[in-house]
Amino acid sequence: MTEAQLITSPEQLCSELDLRVSAASAVYILTDSEVAAHCLPVLLQKVPSLSKADIIEIEQGEYSKSIEIASHIWLHLLENHADRKSLLLNFGGGVVTDLGGFIGATYKRGIPYIHIPTSLLAMVDAAIGGKNGIDHGGIKNSIGTFSDPDTVLIDPSFLSTLPEKELRCGFAEMLKHSLITDAALWSETKRCRLQELSNRGSLIAKNISIKEKIVRTDPLERGNRQLLNFGHTIGHALESFFIENNTPMSHGEAVGYGMMVETLLSENCGSLNTAATAEILETLNLFFSRSAFVFPRFDALLPYLSNDKKNSEGKNRWVLLRNIGQAEAGVEISEESVEKIYTQWVSG
């Protein structure tokens, strides 16, 4: 498994990339429109050897994680005679690293690629662990591969370019990491101010370490890695629903709401005490306001829940909390129980 490197200086970033650029037959940078405007000039200034790279720019947002956009990028590489020694730099947030990893893993059966995440979400989650892919048929991440990048370069200085909403998206995954593995980290994380994150490299490093440790023991998500899906069963269903209805909800927001519902499910199933539930919900409500969305009825989420990757034998499997810092994967809950808790949460 590829381990991420925390970048602490412009010189380190330049050195890491110069070595790989010099060995490549050609360099392609995949990025999105927002990152191209705000971060790409900084990267090119820090790393002069990238000045001749071919820039492939996509529109920002989840809609770009599609087979149509992937096909466009494959065709661009073919038309420019990219070979198996070409290097793809995926420079952006989770959409870019998911899509770019999929391109790197499939073009000519695999070319070298590097993730340089610019969002907090990508730094602590999307770029780590070798999962990549696209959305298809209205289902998030339904097509993809497990494939490791050559390296992942984490430069927290790029976080200073992000608005607070984007920081909240990544912060949801940080809260999740602590909830499923580390009560002390939960206490530290929930007190963190979003504006401080670009200077909190040690906190980011702790989150990267949690994900890498879990992935190392279960790279293909057949066991322990499923713990990382806490909040994602409801979260992905909500995210897919709002994308399909042309009112996109960010991944981080969806996971935040998903963690609320799945925390209540944990309490309802008897695995989480009332005090812990109240503490978790109080914290999540500080960062993820429900007033921004009109949530659908439960039956509108069923088509998305039925396609969840954790399903087994036609039944939904859930990740529930036992306590703050402890979780359990593969829990079967009746559809009626989930509907009851979800409906209460929406109306509450």
Q: What is the pLDDT of residues 17-47, one digit of tens each?
A: 999 999 999 999 999 999 999 999 999 999 9
* pLDDT of 314 above 70: no
CB 344 within 8 A of CB 295: no
pLDDT over 90, % of the chain: 91
Strand blocks (E) in 203-325: 317-323
Total number of residues shown for the chain: 348
What the block records as the tokens of 58 is: 């996509």
Q: Cα separation of 156 and 292, whole Å?
A: 29
Secondary structure (3-state) at 217: helix
CB 53 within 8 A of CB 28: yes
pTM reported for the whole predicted model: 0.93
Q: pLDDT of 267-290, one tens digit each?
A: 999 999 999 999 999 999 999 999
CB 64 within 8 A of CB 90: no
